[in-house]
Structure formats: C-alpha cells, structure tokens
Structure 1
Amino acid sequence: MLGKWRAAAPCTAKMGLREAQTILRSQAEPAGTERVLLGNAGFRILAEPLFARIDSPRETVAAMDGFAVSEKAVQAGCLTFALAGASYPGDSAPAGRDPSAAVRVTTGAPMPPGKDRVIPFELVEETPATIRLAGPLPGARHVRLKASGFEAGQLVLPRGTLLDPAKLLVAAASDNGDVLVHRRPGVRVITNGSELVGAGLAAETGNRVPDSLSLPLLLMARQWGADAVGGMLCPDYAGAIRKAVLAALEDCDVLVIAGGASNGDCDLARPVLRALGLVPFFAGVSIKPGKPVWYGKAGGVHVLGLPGNPAAAMTIARLFLAPLLSTLSGRPFAAALDWQEKPLGAAAEAADPMRDMALFGHRGPDGTVTILPRQSASAQLPLAKAELLVLRPAGGPALPTGAPVPVLDL
C-alpha cells in the first residue's frame, strides 16, 4: 500500500556503514547509454570498446625536422648529399630513389621512397644545393613506421574508460568522431529549512541563514559524473515540500533532500515521500556524523536524504551520493570508495564506543594525516582545511602518532 514503509530491506538505526553501502550498491545500475560527438564526450565513460579507424601513422613519416637520406648510403660512407626537394606533413611523398640525394623533411612529413633515416638539421652543413654531415650520427633514425602507433581495427580504449584529456586524445587520434558513452544521471537537490536564503542574501535579513549545501552538493554531483539539473530551497511545510518533490521527480534520476532527515517537528521530508510512494531501503545508519541518513526509491528515482547540518551532510554525501553517482554514470561503485591506509601525523583520541566516525583530516608534507580538531556535525569552517575523511571504527582505541588509519579523498 502506498504511503507505508515497506520492508524492502532492514530499516534500523543500528545498521552499519558498510551494510548501508551494500544495500545502496544493490540498487544502483548504470543510467543508460547515448552516442555523442567526441567534442561532448569529455569526462564521460565509454559504454563500448573503441577501435582505431585508421593506421597511425598512416604512412612512414619523419619523426624530426631534418633531411631524409638512405641509411645504406650513410653506412657506405657517403658524407655529401645533393638536395632533391622537400616533404611536408599532408604532402604526397616525393618521387625519386637516388641514394645520393637528400630530401628536406619536417616532423610528420612522409618519407620519400628509399629514404629510411632523418639527419637533424643541426648535424649538417647546408649549401643551396647540398648537405654535408658535420658530425657523428645518433643511433636513432628518427623515423616512425606506418601503423607503428596503432593499426586500423586495433582496440585503443576499453569499455569503461573515463575520457579524460589523455584518453580523449587517443579517441581523436584513432579517428573516432563520436562515441557511445554512459548517460549522465540527472541530480536535483532540495534543501529544507524555513530559515535559509541564497548565499549573499542573509546579511540583508535579521535572522536568515545562507544555504551552504545546495551549491556544493550540485558540484559534487558533477564531480562524480552527473548532470546537476538544479537546486531548490524549500520551507519546512509539508505542502511546499510535496510540491517541490513532485516537480523534481519529473526530470531527475537522483533526488537529494538535505535537511528534514531526522525526527523533529520540522523534519517532514520522509513523511511526504512516504505519502508519494517511496520504497525505503534504509533509514538511519550507525555513523557519526550523519546518523539520520536515509535512502529509498520513488518511481525509479533514487532518493537520498541527508542531515541538514553542513559537515554531516557533506560527509554523508561523500560516502553515499558519490558511489551512487559513480555507478549510475558507468564507473564501479568502489571507484568512489578508494580507502587508503595512511599514518597519523598526531595522536588521535579513542573513537565513539557505539558508532563509526568519519572525521575530516588533512595531509602533512611528510605523507601523514592529521585529524582536524573541534569537529561537529554543524561546523563549516573546518571544511576549509579538510582534504579527506578519516574512518575510526566504533570502539576503536586511542591511537599514537604513526598509527595507520583508513582515509578517503574528499
């Protein structure tokens, strides 16, 4: 029956971080594919292998500016060559196979028939009609053979490749003008709070607070492969929340609701979603900060509820939103959860006895990690120095300087 919490998965505040992430992973699949022009494919994920359409180079070419000569003539002791034309990139190779002649070439120019070495300009004495070797030749011949880079039909990029600048270069060089990529999931953010106004507007009011979550959450969405469809501020009224949710569900794959995640008088997001048919998968995770986090699906849209406190919201977004978007955009879920062990740069207090702790930290110049002091769920200024999250398992003891701890880049 719509409007009631259905037992799709355990919904208990005692659920651990790893269990909640496992449930989230079980519900996340790539959002689909689309073919796009290469110019629009930057930082997208290939949905199929990419093969070269041409040889590279397409013919044997010079790998340096200089003069193309016959290696056999050089080895026979020929020091002086008559100049016989020039070859430039995009030209047809000059005719003529006279072994005693040299052809001026530039990098990428086709090598003339019978020429298999390039002598750099600086190693010759040139006259209008001849060149003469002025010193010993290097071992390299400075020639790129046809198809020595890759051959037509060769696999150049496997499925699942992130098209960063280097990979985009390979795609272009292999003459692929369009590619099949995973679709970017659309993300909308609704930030709850009657006290909130847009950043830059609070100073003109008596008691309003800047919305510090919508913009960074949308930025995180783009960082992890999503299209940031838009954000919306919503007062703590059920009618307003319902209207905002209904509009958001029309054009997004993921709806993030920041605030209204707990059980206070103004925490209305979950009741509104329940009435709209939300299928819940978990509500409440044993983690500090961020225990009120919840997740469900409404009509195929992933809905992630974050606590309203800024530090807690950003921590939970990094631990749940990032891997969800990573999967929807075609990358592995685990790609966003690459925990690494690093030594502590300063001693750390004992962990919370009941909950895992995800604490902000920063890197030291010696490769160590230091946990930032005076952290709380509502703190904002510590994020100015935060570079990573440090995980402290529930009940963990105090740790000395140098002890290894799991860390995750923010």
Structure 2
Amino acid sequence: MLDALSSCRPSPEAESLERPPACAAGLTFDRALALLVGQAAPLGTEPVSLAEAGGRSLAAPVHAAIDAPRYDAAAMDGFAIADADLEAGITRFVVVGASYPAAPYPGAIGRGEAVRIMTGAPMPAGTDHVLMLEHVIAAAGTIRLEGRPGRRHVRPRGSDFAAGQRLLPVGRTLDPRALAVAAAADAGNVIVWRRPRVTFVASGDELAAPGRARATALGIPDSLGDALALAVCEWGGVPVRVVRIADDLGALAGAARAALDGADILVMIGGASRGDRDFAKAALATLDLVFADVAIKPGKPVWYGRAKGRHVLGLPGNPTAAFTIARLFLAPLVAALAGRSPAHVWMPVPLAAPVAATGDRETFLCGTLSLDGVRVIERQSASAQLMLAEADALVRFAPGTPALAAGTPVDTVRL
C-alpha cells in the first residue's frame, strides 16, 4: 500500500525539505517525518564498558582482538588422534593423557596414541582428528575404534573470526546477540552514540499524578507521562523526568525553559490544538517551528520545532492519539539521535477481519497481531485508553481507502 517509510525515504512530494508554512494543514505524514528526521543527527560519542553497553548503538566498529577459536580446538568430547593413523589402518590406540580447555595436554603424541579431550580444549601436537565417544570402546587405558571414524570434529584456529576482523559495524544496536559477539572479540569497552535525554511536560488543569486524581471530583490521572517515558527507554533514549503543569501560560513557559536545560528532546503533551487554553507552542518564546498540523488521523495537531538547539515535539493530549504520534514521530527522532536507523519497518500483513472505509486523511489504527494476520480493533477513539492494553500494532491506510476484505495486505508496524 504505502512503503515510503520502509527505508525512511520521503515520497516524491517530500523530496524538498524546505519548511512549510506554520499550521500547513495539508502536510503529509511522509513529508512531516522527512522534515523531522532531516533535523536529527546522532549526538556525541562516549566509551562505555561492555557490561553497560546493552541497547546502545555503536559509533565505532568492533574489531576482533583475538582469533576465535584461539587454537585448533575439539568440537566435541572424545579422543584426539592423528588422521594419519586412521589412514594407516590403526584401530587400537593407547590413551596417554587428557586435554581440557584451560589445561591442554603438554606434549605431542606418537604413532598409535590418543588423548582424551573435552569440547573446546586445544588439540595436542600431532593430532588432527577427534573420535566421538560413541565410536570407540574404552578399556584398560586403550580405545578401539568401532565402525567408521566419521568427521574430524575439529574447529581450526580463526575459523569463526580472525584477530583484526571487523565484526560489528557502526550503527549496530548492541542487542544480546551483538553483545555476545563483542564479548567473544574480547572487547572490554566499546564506543557508542550518546543516548538522547527526553523530558516530558504534560499540561492540563485536570491532570494529576496517578493515584491522586481521586482526591478531587474533576481530577484525571496523567496516563501518558510515565508510559511514554518507558517507551523512550525501549527506543534508545533516557527519560529525564515527567512534569505536570496546569493550563497557565506563565507556569508552562517556566517549566518548558527548565526542561530545555537538561534535555535533548522536550515532549509537550497536550495543549497542541487551538483551544482557549492550548498554550504549548506559545510557552516556547524561542521556538523555531518546523511543522504544525499533519493530514493524519488521529493526531492531526502534532507539531515539531527547535528551541535553544533542542528538539521539541508536541503531542495531542488524547491518550491513543498521543501513543500513535509518539510511535510515528518520537520513536524515529529518538532513534536518529541515538545513532539508530530512524526507519519504520512497515510490513504487509493480511487483515484478519474486514475493515470499513477510512476518511480523506491518512489513517493509523490500532490493531492486534496473530497467526491470522492483523485485526483492527473496533470502535477506536483518540481518547480511549483501555484498548492500549490490547493493541500491539499500528495499521496504515492511505487517504480515501475503501472498505477492505479479510486477507487484504495492509502496511503494519509494531506499536
């Protein structure tokens, strides 16, 4: 359907990255994202220990400091012998010692001799074949080969990787698999991109910290601040704090100024539209607005700009709309600053159930993934919250998409 984001390249209409007029209601999602990503470059680098590097993005490649294996090693438990003995027809061997990974057999073997060897242990001098335990009969310090010897079961030195070889490239996220490779390379420290620091300022007279809303008749729990802070951790950033402010322009301006001092990204939650008390943009006197209003549903009031060199993203206050916009804009912004690919991975997934026609704006709906495909959750609302516990994907529909039957492929990204 729409795959422009699979490589994060703007669509043809987004190739020009000059800024649109403020509140350009016709701004497409692709162009808005291209404008945002065009403003984001990885932050500075820093060395960290491998134990602290999990989830970080490499700013310098990892090269092997040692060979792996460091020596010809046994690939399984058995007996090390010389292949030449097998070729000479010898089937009975005298066991002269043992080889362990940290205690190798110290000498060389002679004709008709064998060494008991454990997986990963160095091959003794003169040996190049490991007989499996299942292929021999052991008795009184000797072994006798029964049947065919099979494979050699030896891992040659450097057969996995060699010292000096580049193992992990710049930009690679240090997930558990990459950490295993870096550790095997004997990398005690790595150079990574600094993680962006993110502060959230949520505005609303009715907002209260969770657990305190019940104290007043009109209090509403802030369901977004802490949840989006957790999402930022998953996307590669560091949440600094969550601030809740009433709809007061002066107080909001003060909170925004303070937040800018300790953050790389300031996320303003609420106050994004044109209501009488929507002060989010006005609270930032130094705001250099890049875009405002995008032709999408939900989340049309989203806006983005720069203030004091920091990135500022404005989210709508409705929970589902805010989560949708955070996934579509905040996630790639955090990723780009953290040295990760900012691309959304949109995958065509068949609909598990039919969906009704969408409107004239590009639409992103919450869905659930299963073996049958993706099922769009019914009766969605930008202000809903309960369905967030069920949703694990966003489904993208082009403007004017007609009703679609089950089985139709639709662009889907994990939420």
Same fold (TM over 0.5): yes
Consecutive unaligned residues of structure 1, counting only runs of 5 or more, are: 1-6
Secondary structure of the residue aligned to 2:119 is coil
Query: RMSD across aligned C-alpha pairs, in angstroms?
Result: 1.5
- Residue 181 of structure 1 and its aligned partner are, at CA, apart by 0.9
- In 2, Cα distance between the equivalents of 1:109 and 1:344? 53
Confirm or deny: 8 A CA contact 1:9 1:280 kept in the other structure: no
- In 1, Cα distance between the equivalents of 2:315 and 2:123? 63
Q: TM-score normalized by structure 2?
A: 0.92
Partner of 2:193: 182
Consecutive unaligned residues of structure 2, counting only runs of 5 or more, are: 1-17
Partner of 2:6: none
- In 2, Cα distance between the equivalents of 1:108 and 1:406? 47
Q: TM-score normalized by structure 1?
A: 0.93
* Aligned residue identity for 1:148: S
Partner of 2:7: none
- In 1, Cα distance between the equivalents of 2:183 and 2:255? 42
Partner of 1:356: 362
Confirm or deny: 8 A CA contact 1:8 1:279 kept in the other structure: no
Secondary structure of the residue aligned to 1:270 is coil
Matches within 5 A, 1:79-94: 79-94=91-106
Mapped pair 1:227 → 2:234: no
* Aligned residue identity for 1:61: A
* Aligned residue identity for 1:73: D
Partner of 2:15: none
Which residue of 289, 293, 298 corresponds with 1:289? 298
Confirm or deny: 8 A CA contact 1:99 1:114 kept in the other structure: no
Which residue of 105, 128, 148 corresponds with 1:136? 148
Partner of 2:268: 257
CA deviations over 1:67-97 (Å, ceiling 9, x no partner): 1111111222212111111111123442123
Mapped pair 1:96 → 2:102: no
Matches within 5 A, 1:93-242: 93-138=105-150, 140-242=151-253
- Residue 37 of structure 1 and its aligned partner are, at CA, apart by 0.9
Partner of 1:3: none
CA deviations over 1:16-42 (Å, ceiling 9, x no partner): 111111111111111121111111111
Secondary structure of the residue aligned to 2:134 is helix
Mapped pair 1:32 → 2:37: no
- In 2, Cα distance between the equivalents of 1:172 and 1:364? 36
Are the structure 2 counterparts of residues 129 and 93 from structure 1 closer, same or farther at C-alpha, using a change threshold of 3 Å? closer
Partner of 1:369: 374
Confirm or deny: 8 A CA contact 1:254 1:301 kept in the other structure: yes
Secondary structure of the residue aligned to 2:282 is helix
- In 1, Cα distance between the equivalents of 2:141 and 2:347? 65
Which residue of 377, 383, 389 corresponds with 2:388? 383
Partner of 2:287: 278
Partner of 2:12: none
Which residue of 350, 354, 357 corresponds with 1:343? 350
* Aligned residue identity for 1:357: T
Mapped pair 1:47 → 2:89: no
* Aligned residue identity for 2:292: A
How many residues are paired up? 397
- In 2, Cα distance between the equivalents of 1:299 and 1:122? 71
Between 1:56-65 and 1:394-403, the stretch displaced more is 394-403
Q: Percent identity?
A: 49
- Residue 201 of structure 1 and its aligned partner are, at CA, apart by 2.5
Between 1:386-395 and 1:254-263, the stretch displaced more is 386-395
- Residue 381 of structure 1 and its aligned partner are, at CA, apart by 1.2
- Residue 207 of structure 1 and its aligned partner are, at CA, apart by 2.6
Which residue of 76, 84, 89 corresponds with 1:77? 89
Which residue of 301, 322, 325 corresponds with 1:316? 325
- In 2, Cα distance between the equivalents of 1:120 and 1:151? 27
Secondary structure of the residue aligned to 1:272 is coil
List structure 1 segments (4+ residues) > 6 angstroms apart after TM superposition.
none
